Amino acid sequence: MIYNFLLNIISKYYLIDENIYLLELLKTCSFSDIFFEKVEILATNLVNENRKNMELDSITNILNEYNLSTREGIQMMCLAESLLRIPDFYACSSFIKDKISFQEWQYYYKSDYWKIIIYNMIIDFVADFFYENDSFIDEDFLIFCFKKIIFFFSNYIMKNIGKKFVYAKTANSAIKKALSDKSFYSFDMLGEAALTFYDARKFFNQYQLAISNIKKTFLGAKRYKIPTISIKLSALHPKYSFYNRKRILRDLIPMLKLLIVDIKLANSFLTIDAEECDRMELSLQIFNIVFYSGYCLYWNGFGIVVQAYSKRALPAIYWLNKIAYMRQTKIAIRLVKGAYWDYEIKHVQTLNLNLYPVYTKKFCTDLSYLLCTVYLLSKICCNNVLPQFATHNIQTIAFTMILGKNKHYEFQKLYGMGNDVYYTLNNLYNIKCREYAPIGAYRELLPYLVRRLLENGANSSFVNKVVNKNINLQNLVESPLFCKDSKYNKIIPTPNDIFGGRRTPIFFYNLNISFHYYNFYKKILYFDCKIWFANSCSSKKKIKMISKNPSNKYDILGITHHDTNISFAMNILKKSFNYWRLISIDKRVSIMKKFIVLLQKNFIELIVLCCKEAGKTILDSISDIKEAIDFCKYYTNQANEICNRFQLPSYTGENNIYIIEGKGIIATISPWNFPVAIFCGQTISALITGNVVLAKPAESTSLIAYRLFQLLYKAGIPLSVCQIIIGKGSNLGNMISFHKDIYGVIFTGSNKVANSINKNLLMRDNRPIHKLIAETGGLNAMIADSSTLVEQLVVDILESSFKSCGQRCSALRILYINEEIYYETIKILLSSLCNLKIGDPLDITTDIGPIITKQNLNNLKKYINSINKEKYYYIQKKYDKGNFLNPTVIRVNGIKDLKTEQFGPILHIVLYKNEQINHIIKEINKIEFGLTFGIHTRNESFYKYLSNKLNIGNIYINRNTIGAIVGMQPFGGCNLSGTGPKAGGPNYINSLINEKTVTINTTAQGGNVELLNE
């Protein structure tokens, strides 16, 4: 594997600037005017012939009429994505009505307009009749009739849309069908990434069965007529990611070799399909190992898909060409535009990377495709690769035909798309193409179908443009090489501009990219054996304590010195308040900016500390520190705007000045589960507004807090302005809340402790009215109706309930599942739990870390043991070294069965029926906890109804219930879950300031000089 080093070079192109990159690539391309004239003539001829002979079927007409620039087109896509898999009539009827009501359908088909009105009236009438008179009618008969009416318009169209893009339901029927077809195919088993090992085995068996049937059916056929097989590697393993590569390579390589042995016997090709950008390097690494094995030597049937929208497309093709040359074995390279563009954009924005790994403008992708085509058809590649161009774009086809004259290559297209284009091509030039033909039942079709609808319905799609005869012919055949537009898409903000330039997100690593991964781990090793110390300046009398790793009781992290009183710190802060209050906001902002820089410089050390002391996984630790930096930037920006002196309107001879000042001494009591984010958020918000701070971090994470204070002091915060006290909350908490000089407390923790603090503050005699900001967690619920996509639901459940070992105040505690999808959801959920790895948080492959303390662990075990064994499920695995607890699922009747919050990886589940929705809402509101709530549904009216009825601080729809972003999703609950204001919201720092108005009578000083000078 001589060219392994090139894989590292490919990695460095992950976030390259597309403007500079494309400009440099264009310098290497030079074509004559005659060449472009030939391309234009050929493209024009193909477009004219295509439009002349075009025959649009009914499905194509629908897709063209209801395009995605209209709300009707989007609603139709939603129907196609969800309708046929909704199992119960209640959700189904509600969903259809939700999608077709209030749209401008009459604009399209006036003849159908009255049908739709009558259809809506029938839905309303039958639904009202059923719910008002359900005791007097035959429910089964009504359901039967209702379904017939509901599905009359919808199901027929949606099923036919599916048939247009899917070749067959099973591999066996597809192969038999292909035998009689004149076309030739590349088969793909529909389905997204495997969630469980059961799914992975199912896909592997499908691939083996398909290859076996091809061997039997096409025995003795010419090789180009034999269908080929495309495989999706993420469908063969539920943990398919770069940082799990050791396990992936161990499990997947033997499976691939088995498939290669079978495909060689069938005299066919095997192609590794494209994945998301994060998985690209892992796919290339697997391809590399298998290709260099003896199974592929001198066999030209092993191929791979390259996506032109990726900035790493051309470097990847260069590498593939090199290894093919070294092995003297050809590689089939299928060049496609790319299928996950919208996902890639959002994913990079959530990672806070500085650029995108994909091109942001369609014409840049077209340009990249042409540049890759130039390289694939060059003399350098002619003996090493078998180019396969998957495109429906006539301009691209014409470019390839002129450039590839007398060269061997193959065109490919998606089944159900570009039929007229390739029919014209076959008639005029006798050029056939291979069709990429998906196989699968409707359930597996959904994600694929959505992508096809997007391609057909989007205004920028060539398939859409060529059908529209109103579009100028010159625009269709113009080469991207001549496009003068700016390369970057101004509509899509760069990750750095998400907040309008007011707050630049912190750039860190994407650990699925090898270049980032190896750089990260080099720095991690530096802190592997470091010992930390924590010792406040608050008092002379200390209690020495040893800090241990919750994931390994034998790992000593450092020594902390616990304080026994707060008097010394309070005296210092009291004397320093006037000094800090008068410091200009510019000076305070300057200090905070230095602190932010220090947080970034010490990012790696803080990650190691979070993993070792707080038991957080690497990914959770990264999120924690990023959130801390976001808090610092957000509150600093806010304070910079409001903490100034303002001139107010005044009468002549009078001057009114409005001044913002701090309150006094603010005590911050932060938890151990977010030892960086919440600690920094509380402390910085108080300091930046002119208060002095007494910080009491959680006893379990004192080393992290002390390291943060060292950075604060280094940034320029005076020691006398911000004091840290270390020790047990039960001892120091009462001292803080009873102290007469405390003007406010910011607290995150349990409701019980928050009430205790509040009572203590109230008991102080003749003291100012205190300010308490408390965020206290709660019994967070999620409800999933039958329209939800179960696979997405399970992924969100796993993240909401078990990420951070369930030790988040926002974690999901109880899940309501509709009876129609209950057993399917439970089956996939319990299978997915087996995939979770519990162990050392510093191991990037670990999914769940330890419980923070032994006492917390014992309390959780005691709770689980109190439950009837028939009502819960957990993985049977024991751990010796750390405070580990297996994820546990418990069956309950409702939220009223939960007396207290269990702060760990414990999920309660409830089966519910549609008619119980209002009762569930009342139960959830009755317990008076209101922090987070999740809703999974495809029905817009359903989630709006729930959102309006529930008294909850943060409601999340069709996603997990954790990971609120500062400034985007201000976080905080109501009632028993918190006092407000929301952290990371626009009103937070307003509660930490005093307002002062100064009115000056200028006439008493001799009059208004400015007026007299007029």
Contacts of 529 (CB under 8 A, 6+ apart): none
* CA nearest neighbour of 964 among 932, 1008, 999: 932
Q: Which residue has the tokens 């760069």?
A: 494
Q: Collect contacts of 117-121 with beta carbons under 8 A, ≥24 apart.
A: 119/149, 119/152, 119/153
Asked whether the beta carbons of 956 and 933 are under 8 A apart, the reply is yes
Phi, psi (deg, nearest 5) at residue 145: -65, -40
Residue 675 DSSP code: T
What sections of 643-701 are H helices per DSSP?
Answer: 677-688
Collapsing DSSP to helix, strand or coil, 825 comes out as helix
| Maximum distance among all Cα pairs of the chain, rounded to whole angstroms | 111
What sections of 729-870 are H helices per DSSP?
Answer: 729-738, 751-762, 790-802, 822-833, 854-865
Q: How far apart are CA 92 and CA 938, in angstroms?
A: 10
CA 293-294-300 angle, to 5 degrees, is 95
Q: Collect contacts of 572-577 with beta carbons under 8 A, ≥24 apart.
A: 572/720, 572/723, 573/665, 573/692, 573/693, 573/694, 573/720, 573/721, 573/723, 573/741, 574/665, 574/741, 575/720, 576/692, 576/718, 576/720, 576/721, 577/662, 577/664, 577/665, 577/691, 577/692
Cα 132 to Cα 120, 140, 143, 338: the distances in Å are 18, 16, 15, 51
Give, to the nearest 10 degrees, the angle between helix 917-926 and helix 940-949: 30
Phi, psi (deg, nearest 5) at residue 744: -170, 155
Asked whether the beta carbons of 302 and 291 are under 8 A apart, the reply is yes
Mapping DSSP onto H, E and C, the string for 562-617 reads: EECCCHHHHHHHHHHHHHHHHCCHHHHHHHHHHHHHHHHHCHHHHHHHHHHHCCCC
Q: How far apart are CA 199 and CA 541, in angstroms?
A: 61
Neighbour order of strands in the sheet with 906-912: 872-874, 888-891, 906-912, 814-818, 781-784, 932-936, 954-957
Asked whether the beta carbons of 198 and 239 are under 8 A apart, the reply is no
- Dihedral in degrees, nearest 10, Cα atoms 355, 359, 361, 363: 150
Catalytic residue among 18, 699, 775, 820: 775
Q: Collect contacts of 597-604 with beta carbons under 8 A, ≥24 apart.
A: 597/715, 598/711, 598/714, 598/715, 599/625, 599/628, 599/629, 599/632, 599/680, 599/711, 600/506, 600/629, 602/707, 602/711, 603/508, 604/520, 604/523, 604/524, 604/526, 604/527
Residue 669 DSSP code: E
Mapping DSSP onto H, E and C, the string for 543-559 reads: EEEEEEECCEEEEEEEE
Q: Determine whether 139 is an active site residue.
A: no
Q: Retrieve residue 338's tokens.
A: 């790319």
253-269 in b/e form (b: 16+ CB < 10 A) is: eebbbebbebbbebbbb
Q: Determine whether 915 is an active site residue.
A: no
Q: How far apart are CA 133 and CA 386, in angstroms?
A: 68
Cα 497 to Cα 20, 362, 511, 983: the distances in Å are 19, 21, 23, 22
Catalytic residue among 296, 722, 809, 974: 809
Collapsing DSSP to helix, strand or coil, 722 comes out as strand
Residue numbers annotated as active site: 775, 809
